Chains A and B, each alone.
Chain A
Amino acid sequence: MSKYPAALGGKSQPPALVRVVRDAGLSAIVAFGLFASMIGLRLFPTGNGMKLHYRWLMLAAVVVAVFAGRVIMLTWRANRPAGTPQPRRIAEAINHAGKYVGAVFLIAAATLPLYGGRYFIDTGILVMTYVMLGWGLTIVVGLAGLLDLGYVAFYAVGAYSYALLSTTYHLGFWTTLPIAGLLAAVWGILLGFPVLRLRGDYLAIVTLAFGEIIRVVLINWTSFTGGPNGITDIPRPTLFGLKFNGSGDPDTFAAFFGIDYSLTQRVVFLYYVIFGLALLTNWVSLRLRRLPLGRAWEALREDEIACRALGINVTVTKLTAFAIGAMFGGFAGAFFATRQAFVSPESFNFGESALVLAIVVLGGLGSQLGVALAAVVMIGGSELFRDFAEYRMLVFGVGLVVMMVLRPRGLVSGRTPSIALGARKEIAAELVAQGRG
């Protein structure tokens, strides 16, 4: 083996050290180019204008860090033992542990208000909202394979449905929730009709435009939606008619149970509302997957022509995917409105759609657990970095890139069959998921 080193390394390859240094140097130069203005320069507002500061030391530190990081990465890669590459092993571990991770997650989520403080629960509400949105979008993107970049439109429809119905007609949250879902579903079908013939890139563009149209309408139809100012004083949800406030009225939660009012009660209640809604979304998607309709969605993603040949009504199948996905977006939207007590078009920009889609893709396109994990990582993670607000997007971006390099098919890849045939003969499932299809 040592007789023919050139055959392994290639004849003209320079020695390993030179190669590593050259490679790392190149990375450092790229880092310098990227960060020279972002980190090296900083503008400070002063009394009469702006002042430019140079932060060369910080820039140097970052560049050196990139250099060192690249060296470490290359050495690690060169010395890694042969065999299964690391990511694959992690993947297998995650897939095997899936059941337990899911159970632990569920318990942790259900008991969160017991051990978490107010801020923690608030973050939990936020994360749970995105888990729900992620699960809703999974129906459209993950199961039916229809790339929807305008999912936020349905979130907006739900939010404004509740906001308008509750402020003008004084309908309660629980009455309006189904209406909001229904209206969102109708909009899902309305979007579905024109895009039925489109696929892939074209579908994505049209859905993107649809999302923007809804937002622009919300901004400009001032008489109906309040325009950019949005809608304020949206009522909070009640628990079987019991309100959450400190007025001491007999129909408040605190008075009814004869306890002191605290704001935490409402937060905990809101947490369990969204937790329940998210579980509902999950349960419905899991049920649907086992029904012919859900299986038809998945088949549609795989091969539309085969579906036609099998007598599946492709039009109806696609529309139901849009409608049901949109309905859950609408539920989440209604919750968003009642939680914030305020909605404005600003909350429904393309960034939201992209975030939810990123959660779905990161989660592994169609994996329920993956979506939940991704939402925790992305939303919880970015909450964690709130103190470093200026670097938040940077960390976020780097995280996404690293993820996609390590796990190109998302956190939990590999499709679980909709019908289990016992544990027997699960042959090469991971191979299909990783390699083909």
Chain B
Amino acid sequence: MTALLKLTGVTAYYGAIQALKGVDLEVNKGEIVTLIGSNGAGKSTLMMTICGNPRARDGHIHYDSQEITRLPTFEIMRRGLAQSPEGRRIFPRMTVHENLLMGAFGRPPHEAVQTMEQVFTLFPRLKERMAQRGGTLSGGEQQMLAIGRALMSRPRLLLLDEPSLGLAPLVVKLIFGAIRELNRTTGLTVLLVEQNAFQALRLAHRGYVLVNGAITMAGPGAELLARPEIRAAYLEGAH
């Protein structure tokens, strides 16, 4: 198996604060990999650093065997990565349709029509609400829109930052189901950040645990789920 995304010794800073302290991580083609960790561990920072904002100070990031560490964000995103960032960040005053089109920025227009249909098969709710403003969607619908918008660029690697945030269990199930479905049918590679460690580890092929900006554990999802220290730190109280 070849690594689609490979991070070696990546560090990132916010001014003087070091948010990532030498992260090594690999995502293979066709895999769902999850990254779990407590609040402030640096998960979102890691996702953003992959996209070059903030840029990694040390270490290397390779995507598809090419170094992308020093590329500007828009160059990186044009190579087949897409991110649904933390907090959804849809465009509130634009319609669902326009939001989706923004996801296809820089892609040929005829392709967008086709991709949009695929997004609608995945989330039929979005089709019903095509003319509605993004800001008036419910939280779950906004999350679907954020994921749908990321898919509009036809990525090979999808970065999802806490897609389950603030959603009812049923909607979480729907969204996780959609991720699994995409992965199975199109071979989409997914890097998933989650607070909901139990569900995430069950969904993912492999998982990483991030503590204070450094990876402390890695392994297949089921294996991590079985570990007592994981259960104690991330699953206590849940399920």
Check if A311 sits within 8 Å of B73, measured CB to CB.
Answer: yes
Which residues of chain B from 196 to 229 have a CB within 8 Å of any chain A CB? Answer: none
Shortest C-beta distance, B89 to chain A (Å), equals 4
Stretch of B9-17, B58-66, B90-98, B187-195 that contacts chain A: B90-98
Kindly report which residue of chain B lies nearest to residue A311, judged by CB atoms: B77
Which residues of the other chain, A, contact B74 by a CB distance below 8 angstroms?
Answer: 308, 311-314
Check if A428 sits within 8 Å of B73, measured CB to CB.
Answer: no
Q: Is A309 an interface residue (CB 8 A)?
A: yes
Q: Is B78 an interface residue (CB 8 A)?
A: yes
Check if A436 sits within 8 Å of B135, measured CB to CB.
Answer: yes
Q: Is A305 an interface residue (CB 8 A)?
A: yes
Check if B77 sits within 8 Å of A309, measured CB to CB.
Answer: yes
Return the contact of B94 from the options A299, A309, A426, A433 (Cβ within 8 A): A299
Shortest C-beta distance, B21 to chain A (Å), equals 24
Most buried by B among A306, A313, A421, A429: A306
Q: How far is the CA of A423 from the CA of B51 in the complex (A)?
A: 39
Which residues of chain A from 414 to 428 have a CB within 8 Å of any chain B CB? Answer: 415, 417-419, 421, 424-428
Check if A428 sits within 8 Å of B136, measured CB to CB.
Answer: yes
Check if A298 sits within 8 Å of B94, measured CB to CB.
Answer: yes
Q: How far is the CA of A424 from the CA of B133 in the complex (A)?
A: 13
B: number of interface residues (CB 8 Å): 36
Q: Is A258 an interface residue (CB 8 A)?
A: no
Check if B92 sits within 8 Å of A432, measured CB to CB.
Answer: yes
Kindly report which residue of chain A lies nearest to residue B99, judged by CB atoms: A299
Shortest C-beta distance, B109 to chain A (Å), equals 8
B interface footprint on A395-430 (CB within 8 Å = 1, 0 otherwise): 000000000000000000001011101001111110
Return the contact of A417 from the options B98, B103, B106, B150 (Cβ within 8 A): B98
Q: Is A390 an interface residue (CB 8 A)?
A: no
Check if B153 sits within 8 Å of A421, measured CB to CB.
Answer: no
Q: How far is the CA of A425 from the CA of B127 in the complex (A)?
A: 11
Which residues of the other chain, A, contact B93 by a CB distance below 8 angstroms?
Answer: 298, 302, 415, 432-433, 437
Given contacts A424-B131, A425-B131, contact A310 B149 (CB under 8 A): yes
Q: Is B85 an interface residue (CB 8 A)?
A: yes
Shortest C-beta distance, B159 to chain A (Å), equals 9
Kindly report which residue of chain B lies nearest to residue A296, judged by CB atoms: B105
Most buried by A among B78, B93, B101: B93
Q: Is A201 an interface residue (CB 8 A)?
A: no
Q: Is B83 an interface residue (CB 8 A)?
A: yes
Q: Is B130 an interface residue (CB 8 A)?
A: yes
Return the contact of A311 from the options B91, B101, B105, B129 (Cβ within 8 A): B105
Return the contact of A427 from the options B85, B105, B132 (Cβ within 8 A): B132
Check if A309 sits within 8 Å of B135, measured CB to CB.
Answer: no
Q: Is A260 an interface residue (CB 8 A)?
A: no
Q: How far is the CA of A310 from the CA of B95 in the complex (A)?
A: 17
Check if A306 sits within 8 Å of B105, measured CB to CB.
Answer: no
Check if B78 sits within 8 Å of A295, measured CB to CB.
Answer: no
Which residues of chain B from 22 to 79 have a CB within 8 Å of any chain A CB? Answer: 51, 53, 72-74, 76-78
Q: Is A292 an interface residue (CB 8 A)?
A: yes
Given contacts A298-B91, A298-B94, A432-B93, contact A309 B133 (CB under 8 A): no
Q: Is B102 an interface residue (CB 8 A)?
A: yes
Which residues of the other chain, B, contact A308 by a CB distance below 8 angstroms?
Answer: 51, 53, 73-74, 77
Shortest C-beta distance, A249 to chain B (Å), equals 53
B interface footprint on A59-88 (CB within 8 Å = 1, 0 otherwise): 000000000000000000000000000000
B interface residues (Cβ-Cβ under 8 A, vs A): 51, 53, 72-74, 76-78, 82-85, 89-95, 97-98, 101-103, 105-106, 129-133, 135-136, 149-150, 153
Closest 9 CB pairs of A and B: A311-B77, A306-B89, A302-B91, A313-B74, A432-B133, A425-B131, A421-B131, A309-B83, A427-B132
A interface residues (Cβ-Cβ under 8 A, vs B): 292, 295-296, 298-299, 302-303, 305-314, 415, 417-419, 421, 424-429, 431-433, 436-437
Please name 27 pairs of A and B residues whose Cβ atoms are closer than 8 Å in the assembled complex, sorted by A.
Answer: A292-B101, A302-B92, A302-B94, A305-B85, A306-B85, A306-B90, A308-B53, A308-B73, A309-B83, A309-B85, A310-B103, A311-B74, A312-B102, A312-B105, A314-B74, A417-B94, A417-B95, A418-B98, A419-B98, A425-B130, A425-B132, A427-B133, A428-B136, A431-B136, A432-B92, A436-B92, A437-B93
Given contacts A306-B89, A417-B98, 18 further A-B contacts (CB under 8 A): A296-B102, A298-B94, A303-B89, A305-B53, A307-B102, A309-B82, A309-B85, A311-B106, A311-B153, A312-B106, A415-B93, A415-B94, A426-B131, A427-B129, A428-B133, A429-B133, A432-B92, A436-B92
